[in-house]
Amino acid sequence: MFCLMAGTAGLPHLLTRFYTTPSVADTRSSVTWALFFVGLLYLSVPALAVLVKYEVMQSLVGSSIEALPTWIVQWARVDSSLVSIMDVNGDGRVQFGEIRIGADIIMLATPEIGGLPYVVSGLVAAGGLAAALSTADGLLLTISNALVRDLYSHEVGHDSTPEQRVILSKFALLGVALLAAMVATLKPAEILPLVSASFSLAASGLLPAMVLGIFWRGATRAGAVCGMLAGFGVTVYYMTAKSAPVRAAMGLAGEPTLWFGIQPVAGGVFGVAIGVAMAVLASLLTRRESALRAGNP
């Protein structure tokens, strides 16, 4: 929960959304409504999971194989990997262990499970696609702008015109989108672990520098960089070194030793703490060195 909240506060593609409001008051109102709907969503998802499992256990388990619900038959025709039922013991009855329901189908099939028409599932699918595209375009714009405006324009192309930067941003956006699509086709892991890991990485790499830079006047550029590198590095190390799939791929035997029993996906807890400590320490040291050079110890 900590990584979820801290990661959400540090995601750059979410922060840039509030730059489009015309005033500070509108930004605060926008943030309030956004937090309300985010909280509503996070509270509704567990309840939805409980209701779907209850419906499956009460209406599907124990029913006849010959008289399956309509939603099972329809979605099995779309893709058998999404949902399928196999009568393993041959008794003609659906057992809980004979049901295979993919995680991706739960949200799409929920309206039909509740008795709503099929068109509602289409609206849910359209809403999910719109949410995915909205998240993707925010991330792509943030990454492409960071590559062109923050890295290229400041480090290499000092004399580039605004038109050239816009053109380069479009090509950078296309390249990042193609790279993301290629990685997505490989399906390196389930979506939930990947999303959870992204929140930990955002919390450890971005939040300490952002919060200290806003609320502490003693923060320096060197301190922010050190805090970002330290927090991000510790989180990446913990998530990779303590992950069972990574250890298996590297041939490491035995169960990993977790720090305070915290799972690798929540490694941002350590990254945020170390990032804040390193940012404060580096800022104090660099400010002292600057004062000594200026002759004001």
Q: Residue 166 corresponds to which tokens in the numbers above?
A: 């816009």
The pLDDT of residue 269:
93
Long-range contacts of 261-267, Cβ-Cβ distance < 8 Å, separation of 24 or more: 264/238, 264/239, 264/240, 265/3, 265/193, 265/196, 265/197, 265/200, 265/239, 266/2, 266/3, 266/196, 266/200, 267/200, 267/204, 267/234, 267/235, 267/236, 267/238, 267/239, 267/242
Task: Compute the average pLDDT of residues 254-264.
Answer: 84
- pLDDT at residue 197 is higher than 70: yes
DSSP 8-state symbol, 62: T
Query: Measured at the alpha carbon of residue 243, what is the angle toward residues 240 and 137, in degrees to the nearest 5?
Result: 65
The pLDDT of residue 9:
82
Task: Compute the average pLDDT of residues 146-155.
Answer: 77
pLDDT band at residue 21, thresholds of 50, 70 and 90? confident
Question: For residue 100, which phi and psi values (nearest 5 degrees)?
Answer: -120, 110
pLDDT band at residue 66, thresholds of 50, 70 and 90? confident
pLDDT band at residue 112, thresholds of 50, 70 and 90? confident
Q: Residue 115 corresponds to which tokens in the numbers above?
A: 């008795």
pLDDT band at residue 226, thresholds of 50, 70 and 90? very high
Q: Which range in 69-78, 119-128, 238-247, 263-272 is most confidently predicted, on average pLDDT? A: 263-272
pLDDT band at residue 204, thresholds of 50, 70 and 90? very high
Q: Give the pTM.
A: 0.68
Q: Residue 294 corresponds to which tokens in the numbers above?
A: 């200026």
The pLDDT of residue 291:
63
Inter-CA distances, 213 with 23, 126, 161, 235, Å = 22, 39, 30, 21
Q: Counting beta carbons within 10 angstroms of the beta carbon of residue 33, is it exposed (0 to 12), middle (13 to 18) or buried (19 or more)?
A: exposed
The pLDDT of residue 163:
83
SS3 250: coil
The whole-angstrom separation of Cα 166 and Cα 145 is 9
- pLDDT at residue 297 is higher than 60: no
Task: Compute the average pLDDT of residues 65-91.
Answer: 79
Residues of the chain with pLDDT > 90: what percent?
A: 14
Q: With left for phi above 0 and alpha for psi between -120 and 50, is residue 261 left, alpha or beta? A: left
Query: Measured at the alpha carbon of residue 272, what is the angle toward residues 266 and 274, in degrees to the nearest 5?
Result: 115
The pLDDT of residue 30:
86
The pLDDT of residue 280:
93
pLDDT band at residue 46, thresholds of 50, 70 and 90? confident
The full set of domain ranges for the chain reads 61-116, 136-187
